[in-house]
C-alpha cells in the first residue's frame, strides 16, 4: 500500500478518473479492471488517531464506467476464458465430468469475484442480477451454482459500508 499526502492523492484521483474516461470510450476491460485493483493500493495519509483509511478506489467508485453492463459482461467472460486457458490440463485420466466440474468451479469463482466488485462499487442489485443471469446462461453454469450467486447478490453482505474490499479478479 502506498500512502499519499492530500495533494498527491487528489492529483492521482484526477489522473485515474481521466484515464477511466478514455477506457470507457474504448471499453478496454483489462485496463478498467487493472485500474480498479490499482486504486486499492493508494491511500490518503491519515492523521494521528484517524481509524479509517481513504483509498483512491473510493474516489473513482462513482465513475460512469462501472455502470456499463457491457464492461462487466466482457470483463467476466474474458477473465473466465483466460483462467480456463491458463488452467488447461491435458490429463488423459481426467473424465469429461471432471473437466466440466473443474471449469465450472473456475467460472463460479470468477463470476463470484466480479459480483463482489460490483457490490463494492454499489451497482444496482437488479443490474447485478441481470449480469449474473446472462453470464451463467452463456457459460452453461449449473443451476445450483447460478442460484448461489443470486442468493449472494440478494443478501449484499454489507459491502456498502466497507471502505476497502480486496478486488483481485
> What mean pLDDT do residues 102-123 have?
93
pLDDT, tens digit, 9 for 90 and up, residues 18-31:
999 999 999 999 99
Q: How far apart are CA 138 and CA 115, in angstroms?
A: 16
Distance CA 155, CA 159 (A): 10
pTM of this structure: 0.83
At 163, is the pLDDT very low, low, confident or very high (cuts 50, 70, 90)? very low
Structural domain spans, the chain: 1-66, 68-169
Residues sharing a CB contact under 8 Å with residue 31, sequence separation 6 or more, in sequence order: 19, 23
Percent of the chain with pLDDT over 90: 68
pLDDT at residue 93, as a whole number: 84
The confidence score (pLDDT) of residue 49 equals: 67
Amino acid at each position: 500500500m502506498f500512502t499519499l499526502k492530500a495533494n498527491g492523492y487528489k492529483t492521482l484521483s484526477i489522473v485515474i478518473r481521466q484515464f477511466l474516461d478514455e477506457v470507457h470510450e474504448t471499453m478496454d476491460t483489462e485496463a478498467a479492471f487493472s485500474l480498479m485493483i490499482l486504486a486499492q493500493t493508494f491511500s490518503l495519509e491519515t492523521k494521528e488517531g484517524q481509524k479509517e483509511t481513504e483509498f483512491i478506489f473510493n474516489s473513482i467508485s462513482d465513475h460512469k464506467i462501472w455502470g456499463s453492463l457491457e464492461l462487466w459482461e466482457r470483463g467476466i467472460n474474458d477473465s473466465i476464458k483466460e483462467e480456463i486457458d491458463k488452467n488447461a490440463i491435458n490429463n488423459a485420466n481426467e473424465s469429461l465430468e471432471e473437466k466440466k466440474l473443474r471449469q465450472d468451479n473456475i467460472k463460479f469463482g470468477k463470476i463470484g469475484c466480479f459480483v463482489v466488485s460490483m457490490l463494492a462499487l454499489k451497482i444496482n442489485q437488479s443490474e447485478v442480477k441481470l449480469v449474473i443471469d446472462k453470464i451463467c446462461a452463456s457459460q452453461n453454469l449449473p443451476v445450483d451454482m447460478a442460484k448461489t450467486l443470486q442468493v449472494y447478490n440478494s443478501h449484499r453482505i454489507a459491502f456498502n459500508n466497507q471502505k476497502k474490499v480486496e478486488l483481485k479478479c
